[in-house]
Amino acid sequence: MQCLILAGGFGTRVQAIAGERPKALLPIAGTPFIDLQLQLLWALGVREVILALGHRSEEIESHLDGHPLQRCFPKLKYCDDGGTPQGTGGAIVRASALLKPNFLVTYGDTLLRLPIHKMMEEHKNGPCPVTLSVYKNKNLADRSNAKLVNDRVVYQKNHPAPDMNYIDYGMMVLTRDHFLSHASKKRPFDLADYLEACSLEGEIQPFEAHYPFLEMGSPSGYRNLCHLFETDQVFLDSLIRDAKR
């Protein structure tokens, strides 16, 4: 499986913690976050990774150059925004020459407990160009932005309806050709714009997650993740076990 990691943001919410470092290199119990994310993806069956980078991209590439993880990902590739932010949607377009017909997309600040092999299989066997992982959070972790109607995802990121009780879980499978044919020509543009358009056409099928997601894109999320790894030395192993269930 191939996964595109969107890791080109400025990390403004955690800038007070990160300083000038790119968010992906923030340490979690002494280990750079990107190392943990790649280890988890490898354990779940991902064998090809593309990192869509922007802010201080050279530092991330330097960190991974010669890293032991490169033995797991000999096809690790980078796609830089060229010094001009492309937005999450534009970053996918920029990486399009590297993408397989069906590919995973996730964000560079999340650790997700999800059986992604099963998700990919359902996508390939399903009727929709998008398979979106969702979690029934009922507005607890963050504001819900999705609901399920007739085995389809109704998704509204910016103006969610009051009856929405699911949240985008941060992992999806996209069909390359469909995405490129519907991608905005404007730059930058948000991946959420594409997802909302697909939602209106009934083109998103759900894949339900059963565990809250972990993130380090906010100060509270970062502190929580550090605490989990500092108090449980094998916490990554438990994430992997949960994800495979």
Rounded to whole angstroms, how far apart are CA atoms 199 and 203? 6
pLDDT class of 209 with cuts at 50, 70, 90: very high
Give the pLDDT confidence of 93-133 residue by residue, as tens digits: 999 999 999 999 999 999 999 999 999 999 999 999 999 99
Q: From CA 220, how far away is CA 61, in angstroms rounded?
A: 27
> From 1.10.10.10, 3.40.50.880, 3.90.550.10, 3.10.560.10, which CATH number describes the 2-244 domain?
3.90.550.10
pTM of the model: 0.94
Domains of the chain by residue range = 2-244
Least trusted range by pLDDT, from 136-145, 203-212, 229-238: 136-145
Chain-wide mean pLDDT for the chain?
A: 92
> Cα(131)–Cα(123) distance, rounded to whole angstroms?
6
Of 54, 77, 58, 63, which is closest to residue 26 (Cα–Cα)?
Answer: 63
Rg from Cα positions in the chain: 17
pLDDT score of 14 more than 70? no
Report yes or no: 4 and 95 within 8 Å, Cβ to Cβ.
yes
The tens digit of pLDDT for each residue in 147-202 reads 999 999 999 998 999 999 999 999 999 999 999 999 998 889 999 999 999 999 99
| Average pLDDT estimate for 37-52 | 97
- What is the DSSP track for the chain? -EEEEEE-S--GGGHHHHTTS-GGG-EETTEEHHHHHHHHHHHTT--EEEEEE-TTHHHHHHHHTT-GGGGT-TT-EEEE-TTS--HHHHHHHHTGGG--SEEEEEETTEE----HHHHHHHHHHSS-SEEEEEE--TTSSS---EEEETTEEEE-SSS--TT--BEEEEEEEEEHHHHHHH--SSSS--HHHHHHHHHHTT-EEEEEE-S--EE-SSHHHHHHHHHHHHH-TTHHHHHHHHHH-
